[in-house]
Structure 1
Amino acid sequence: MAREQWKSEVGFLMAAVGSAIGLGNIWRFSYLAYEHGGGAFMIPYLTALLTAGIPLLILEYAIGHERIGSAPLAYAKISRRWEWVGWWPVCFVMFGIVLYYTVIIAWCLAYFFYSFGLEWGADPDQFFFQKFLAVSDSPADLGEIRTPVLMGLAVIWFINWGVVYGGVQRGIELANKILMPTLMVLIAVLVFWSLSLEGAWTGLKAYVTPDFSKLTNPKVWIDAYSQIFFTLSLAFGVMITYASYLPDKANITGSALLTACINCGFSLFAGIAVFSVLGFMATAENKPLADVISQSIGLAFVAYPKAISMMPGGNLFGAVFFLCLVVAGLSSSVSITEAFVSAIVDKFGVRRQPLVTGVCVLGFVGSMMFTTRAGMLWLDIVDHFITHYGLVTVGILECLVIGWLFDLPMLRDHINRISSVQLGGIWDILIKGFVPLVLMVILIGDLYQDLRVPYGDYDWTALILIGRDWLLFTLVLAFFLATRPWRTKNHRRPGRGAKT
């Protein structure tokens, strides 16, 4: 059976951008910029983009396109010994990240409806943590399933199923051609509306005012590289899979540059809306801006709802904001599901549609763990271990396997033959040396910090049984899948470049 392809490079670009742009672009980047020097944060951020983000994104596009396969198939074509490196990320993003990520999207969907009546009332903090989630005191105290979250989760998984079931052209490409323009329009509405609020300039000034003294702190640079790495969906296996659906003639470097620039530009643009609203809130409450800013989940589900309740037409503004989050989250969750489905089809040759149905049902059942009263605590632990240890380790392995054990100059020649922007030897140096070194620094720093002080003040039992063992389970699953015999001949088909 011939491999599906994108109908156009625009469709591929929309899908890649859709995978890259997620919830973190709207809330995490803005907070990091504020915390790490405002406008000065652009220096480490853009440095990280140029020296690690774009080079690694080009690498993933190139290996997927040249080897013509999902992540496991691409690595199997390099060497059967390294096939597990392709399976591990698609396993832990499918049976880890997407399980709790869809739950967060379900929260956003619920808050979309809550916005119309400002259901969170005068105390959004109490509403979110005690009434909506009813968070338990310990990860061991699972409690009951939260019905509003479960209902939203069912809707999200149904949409995921519908899009991935439709295939590359009629499902993923078509959906992203609708989702991405919709997201851009919605975020533009938020930005221009928020700029009209009283006190918007106060927040905007805090967002962009440079504090160059922060750049002497190594943590600022580490956070910048971490943000670039995560925001571009690197080491997820997604970009390798998406690039494998490109035709023989594809502008690899041009697509990578556009994906990275659109993704990062979206983060910067969304930050205007976030901090304009926070500036309005600080002005309305006559408080310093620092007193109304909270990180990540607190920013989206506590600080923002409070501001929404205070502004004229806030219910409509809130609906647009949470709809933005739902759209951004859906495009990312679809890409993760597709990466796993594509890998199974490549190796075992099973029919796509029944597989998609089975995977989505399994995903929904797995996600139910995060709808319990302890769900947010489990989410926090699993997310920390997968993103801080799983993804970073895969990124290092990716650079070492492709950079040192594969014919990297051949891959660069393949890229240059079909791309608008030509790569030089500096790209080889970045992939073989600089990028894995940066990722090792991040990995060692996280490990040192977590050994010194248990993450999130959780007890060691919870961290080991939930975080570490969840990651180890996906690693064991990756080795199991890698050692199964191939039921297709895909791994025997050569790539598009020279023989290795």
Structure 2
Amino acid sequence: MTDSTTEPGTETAKRGAFTSRRVFIFAAIGSAVGLGNIWRFPYVAYENGGGAFILPYLIALLTAGIPFLLLDYAIGHRYRGSAPLSFARLSRGAESLGWWQMGICFMIAVYYAAVVAWALRYTFFAVDKAWGTDPEGFFFGSFLQTGEAGVDTTLVPGVLWPLLVIWAVVALVMVLGVQKGIGRMALVFIPILLVAFLALVVQALFLPGAGAGLDALFTPDWGALLDPLVWAAAYGQIFISLSIGFGIMITYASYVDRKTDMSGSGMVVGLSNSGFELLAGIGVFAALGFMAGAATPPTAVNEVASDGIGLAFIAFPTIINEAPGGTLLGLLFFGSLVVAGITSLVSVIEVVISGVRDKFELTRVAASLWVLTPATLISLALFSTTSGIHVLDIVDYFVNRFGILLVAVVSMVVVGWVLMALPRLADHLNATGSVPVGTWWKVLIGGLAPIALTLVLGRELYVAITEPYGGYPGWMLVVFGWLPVVAMIVLAAGLALALPWRKDTPLTGYDDPARAGSDGAGEVR
């Protein structure tokens, strides 16, 4: 690889930038607020002490979530590059961390798009309740045409076409660029998402039985606070929810003006994300309370509570069938999933496009085509088939647990203990930040957060080994689970060693106070 001391002030026009702090915050919120906020958090809270879970959740947010968010911001904002380039500028030996994060984002994008496509199709299904009286049978049968666990290449047109639409929308946003594409989309989509979801929550709260659902969610089980697994669930939820640790916030922060308040922005993004999760919990469990009361015979909320795909595509259609104004409820719910999903998908794929642009000095259009073409083809080949949901389930399980969480732990250890970079990153945040970052931050990033996540990882690894996930055949877990996780690590190390940076790519000078501040990234307004 070729070292370079080119002045780090000429790249902004090439890479693109957000025009203001407000645009950056909207884009960061758009990335953080995704499908997991709506269909994962409510059930995790319910299963882990109800109202009592709020305490470990807030502690996890303040001791790990926001501190790591600030770490991502500091790396991207100081070193002005994609994940691989920012880590290479931090230390040449750390570059592979950025490639690892890029690999994780590519894998997430190819299956995440499929779920957004399902939500898009269900938005139209909600108009006439096309799923009929058996939402579960419709989802797995008529819609996905699911077969036995295995690999079947039979295409499902009802999934293929909406999936193509989603990738087309993403391609348009990516080609338009950082501000005209990602920034403007966030400025439009985030207010729409907030208004739509508020309307959904209000409608859900007026459903008969909504109170029973809220009681089930918020009644505290204080004994759960003594269970270490509850605390592990809180830390795991925070990292999965905030879009931290796998390159997104590093990339977005690199597009922000040098004088931007990054620590204050981190607090806004972190608290906004958690606020939306609590709002989602209220709306989802109010609807589940109605569902429990409307069952024949009426049942308890714990009998109908679920998360993930089961909540979105089976439980909610059941609710929509019975609820007053069900069509509007369906349009709001699935429309919210589509909007939240697209803003998150765009941020995930931007990590890959940004890395390709920095490494190969490509135009945005060229880099977008190089990334989106294989991503779209792989997505269609794997997830628009009758075996798509099985593959998606496995990939999602392994990438979230042994991809995102593992690279987060390794990043904190490398940055904090191997490179000893936390003091200079703290100084960078404090130079323009409104929230002082001091010893508390270094202790959390260098100590508490990696320890907490290591415990979460250890538990997940034990479960994965002792209880093969989902009852799937062992070969499927290896091919679509363990193998991709290991391959990402090996490939990241290989790419860092094998692909040299161009001679005109500045790699040094970013830790020199006299030069590091010379790179502007757009006018702050």
TM-score range, shorter chain: over 0.9
**Hey, what does 2:191 align to over in structure 1?**
181
Equivalent residue for 2:83?
71
2:123 is aligned, of 109, 112, 124, to 112
Task: Spell out structure 1 runs of 4+ moving beyond 4 A.
Answer: none
| Secondary structure at 1:490 match in 2 | coil
2:350 & 2:431 partners in 1: Cα distance?
A: 28
Q: Amino acid of the residue matched to residue 108 of structure 2?
A: I
The amino acid of 2:118's aligned partner reads: W
Is 1:15 paired with 2:27? yes
What is the rounded CA distance, in whole Å, between the counterparts of 2:421 and 2:491 in structure 1?
28
Q: Name the counterpart of 1:136.
A: 147
Equivalent residue for 2:411? 398
Show the counterpart of 2:494. Answer: 480
The alpha-carbon distance between structure 1 residues 485 and 143, as it changes in their structure 2 partners (threshold 3 A), is closer
- Structure 2: how far apart are the matches of 1:488 and 1:345? 15
How much has 1:423 moved relative to structure 2?
A: 1.3
Q: Distance in 1 between matches of 2:276 and 2:443?
A: 29
The correspondence for 1:299, drawn from 311, 324, 344, is 311
Counterparts of 2:238 and 2:453, CA distance in 1: 12
What corresponds to 1:126 in structure 2? 137
Residue aligning to 2:4: none
1:426-478 CA distances to partner (integer Å, 9 max, x unpaired)?
11111111111111111111111111121112222111122111223333332
Any idea what SS the aligned residue of 1:492 has? coil
User: Is it true that 1:257 corresponds to 2:270 in the alignment?
Assistant: no
Say if 1:99 and 1:366, in contact at 8 Å, map to a contact too: yes
Partner of 1:384: 397
Residue equivalent to 1:287: 299
The answer to whether residue 63 in structure 2 is matched with residue 48 in structure 1 is no
CA distance in 2, matches of 1:494, 1:161: 34
Shift of 1:216: 1.9
Q: For 1:245 and 1:497, locate their aligned partners in 2 and report how far apart those are by CA, in whole Å.
A: 20
AA aligned to 2:500 is: P
CA distance in 1, matches of 2:54, 2:346: 30
Letter matched to residue 11 of structure 2: A
Farther off after superposition, 145-154 or 471-480:
471-480
Greater shift in the superposed pair: 26-35 or 484-493: 484-493
C-alpha separation in 2, matches of 1:496 and 1:21: 33
| Shift of residue 386, structure 1, vs aligned partner | 1.0
Contact 1:73 1:491 in 2 (8 A): no
Identify which of 89, 95, 99 aligns with 2:110. 99
Measured in 1, the distance between the counterparts of 2:317 and 2:56 equals 31
SS at match of 2:40: helix
- Structure 2 counterpart of 1:81, which letter? G
* Correspondence 1:225 to 2:235: yes
- 1:489 correspondence with 2:504: yes
Counterpart AA for 1:67: Y
* 1:364 corresponding residue in structure 2: 376
How far the C-alpha of 1:143 sits from its partner, in A, is 4.3
Q: CA deviation at 1:9?
A: 0.2
1:456 corresponds, among 457, 460, 470, to: 470
User: Is residue 465 from structure 1 mapped to residue 479 from structure 2 by the alignment?
Assistant: yes
TM-score normalised by structure 2 residue count:
0.92
CA distance in 2, matches of 1:448, 1:2: 46
Contact 2:83 2:247 in 1 (8 A): yes
Q: Is the 8 A contact 2:87 2:98 kept in 1?
A: yes
Superimposed CA distance per residue, residues 207-266 of structure 1 (whole angstroms, 9 cap, x where no aligned partner)? 111111122222111111000011011112010000011111011110110000000000
> Residues of 1 paired with 2:426 and 2:438: CA distance?
8
1:420 aligns with one of 416, 421, 434: 434
2-structure distance, mates of 1:258, 1:146: 42
Other structure's SS at 2:147 match = coil
What is the match of residue 57 of structure 1? Answer: 69
Cα distance in 2 between the residues matched to 1:274 and 1:161:
32
- Residue identity matched to 1:479: A
- Per-residue Cα deviation, 1:349-408 (whole angstroms, up to 9, x for no partner): 011112212322221111011121111111111111111111111101111121121432
Secondary structure of 1:414 counterpart? helix
* Rounded Cα–Cα distance in structure 1 between residues aligned with 2:370 and 2:388: 23
Partner of 1:31: 43
2:523 is matched with none
Q: Does 1:444 align with 2:458?
A: yes
Please, which moves more after superposition, 163-172 or 483-492? 483-492
Q: Residue 334 of structure 1 aligns with which residue?
A: 346
Aligned-residue offset at 1:269: 0.7
Q: Kindly indicate whether residue 394 of structure 2 is the aligned counterpart of residue 374 of structure 1.
A: no
* Residue identity opposite 2:292 in structure 1: A
- Identical residues among aligned pairs (%): 43
Aligned-pair Cα RMSD in Å: 1.5
**TM-score relative to the length of structure 1:** 0.97
> What residue is the counterpart of 2:161 in the other structure?
151
The number of aligned residues is 498
